[in-house]
Amino acid sequence: MTTEDASKNQLLNGIRRLHEVLEKVPPYQEMNDHRKHSVDIYSRVFGLLNEAVDSAGYSSYIITTTKLEWNY
């Protein structure tokens, strides 16, 4: 396993742990509020926050014209 793979796994495990605490896929703002890594690092490593959420094994969120919704 490379250092890059280990870093990705640590980030994905962070999403999974937050999911356990919140009992839902962590929304963008809660990711920033509760994680030691900001959403920006997830975007830099995975390209998009959605990709990180998908890679962690969860359905990513969808954006509607009225609000942000999670697709469970």
- In order along its 72 residues, the chain shows pLDDT tens digits of 566 666 899 999 999 998 898 888 887 788 878 767 778 888 889 988 889 989 999 887 655 444 555 555
pLDDT value, residue 61: 63
pLDDT for the residue 65: 46
Q: How far is CA 40 from CA 6, 19, 36, 66, in A?
A: 18, 18, 11, 24
What was the pLDDT predicted at 64? Answer: 47
* Tokens of residue 48, six digits: 């998009």
Q: Which of 18, 20, 16 is nearest to 8 (CA)?
A: 16
d(CA 63, CA 33): 20
